């Protein structure tokens, strides 16, 4: 029973991680186009590149575990995208960087928890992805002046 609960948990984690990657790619593309500063545009492009790679790795693992791969984004990311489309310049940058900071803090916590679950494929993927997420958080914090 416990192992099937863990398996379901791994599947849900992968599904959520892929949706998160989709969100970071979508929002990163928007920032790369609309960012008010070079730093935000560059950060947006970094998000796109890194999260495409992370999504490819998660999708390969998901296929083996029969996890449906979504092309959608989280509801929070869609709301943020809609909000960001109406902003420009420093207002865009402040909102984008604030969202990315909060989002990466939350995701890092989730990935650390999953990474600590042992020697299975999904926790190992979480552990492998953590350093990149931590770099993204540092970039976001440096852009926000935190």
| Higher pLDDT among residues 74 and 28, named by residue | 28
| Structural domains in the chain (count) | 1
Lowest mean pLDDT across 6-20, 55-69, 103-117: 6-20
The whole-number pLDDT of residue 1 equals 35
List the structure tokens of 128: 């492998």
Instruction: Say which CATH number the domain at 52 has.
Output: 1.20.1260.10
Q: Determine contact, residues 140/97, Cβ cutoff 8 Å.
A: yes
* CA neighbor of 120 nearest in space, from 64, 51, 71: 64
Neighbours of 32 (CB within 10 A): 18
Domain range for 125 is 2-144
Is pLDDT above 50 for 2? no
Distance in angstroms (rounded) separating the CA atoms of residues 54 and 72: 16
Q: What is the pLDDT of residue 46?
A: 98
Which of left, alpha, beta for 145 (phi over 0: left; psi -120 to 50: alpha)? Answer: left
- Please determine, for residue 92, whether its predicted confidence score (pLDDT) is greater than 70: yes
Tens digits of per-residue pLDDT, 108-138? 999 999 999 988 999 999 999 999 999 999 9
> Per-residue pLDDT for 7 more than 60?
no
């Amino acid at each position: 029973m416990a192992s099937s609960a863990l398996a379901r948990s791994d599947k849900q984690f992968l599904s959520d991680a892929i949706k998160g990657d989709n969100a970071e790619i979508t929002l990163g593309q928007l920032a790369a186009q609309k960012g008010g500063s070079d730093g935000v545009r560059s950060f947006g492009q970094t998000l796109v590149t890194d999260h495409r790679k992370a999504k490819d790795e998660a999708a390969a693992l998901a296929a083996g575990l029969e996890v449906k791969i979504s092309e959608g984004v989280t509801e929070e990311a869609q709301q943020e995208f809609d909000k960001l489309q109406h902003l420009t310049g420093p207002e865009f940058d402040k909102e984008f960087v604030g969202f990315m900071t909060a989002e990466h803090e939350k995701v890092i916590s989730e990935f650390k928890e999953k990474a600590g679950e042992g020697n299975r494929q999904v926790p190992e993927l979480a552990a492998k992805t953590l350093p990149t997420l931590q770099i993204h958080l540092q970039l976001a914090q440096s852009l926000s002046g935190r």
